[in-house]
Amino acid sequence: MSTVIKDFRRVKVLSNSEVYPGYFLLSFETPEVIVVRPGQFLQLRLVDKGQFLRRPFGIFDQRDKSIDIFYKVRGDITTKMSALKAEDSLDIICPLGNGFKEQNKKDLVIVSGGTGFAPLNFLAKRLSSKEGLFIIGSAGSESKSFTKLVKSLDLDILIVSEDGSVGEQGMVTDYLVDNISSNSIIYSAGPLEMLKKVYKIAKDKKAETQFSFESHFACGMGFCWGCALKTKNGTVRVCSEGPVFNGEDVLWEEL
CATH of the domain at 165: 3.40.50.80
**What pLDDT, on a 0 to 100 scale, did the predictor assign at position 1?**
36
Q: Does residue 237 lie in a domain region?
A: no
Cα separation, 237 vs 217, whole angstroms: 10
In a domain, 101, yes or no: no
pLDDT on residue 151: 67
179 found inside a domain:
yes
pTM of the predicted structure, to 2 decimals? 0.92
Contact criterion met (CB below 8 Å) for 231 and 251: yes
* 145 found inside a domain: yes
- Say if 14 falls within a structural domain: yes
113 in the same domain as 91: no
Q: Is residue 252 part of a domain?
A: no
Query: What's the Cα-to-Cα distance from 99 to each of 33, 40, 240, 245, rounded to whole Å?
Result: 18, 5, 11, 9
Compute φ and ψ for 183, nearest 5 degrees.
-95, 10
Q: Which residues of the chain have pLDDT under 50?
A: 1-5
The domain tally of the chain equals 2
28 and 81 housed in the same domain: yes
Domain that holds residue 37: 7-96
> Both 203 and 112 in a single domain?
yes
Q: Are residues 77 and 111 in the same domain?
A: no
How many CB atoms neighbour CB 178 within 10 A?
Answer: 7
CA–CA distance, 221 with 238 (Å, rounded to integer)? 10
Asked whether residue 79 is domain-assigned, the answer is yes
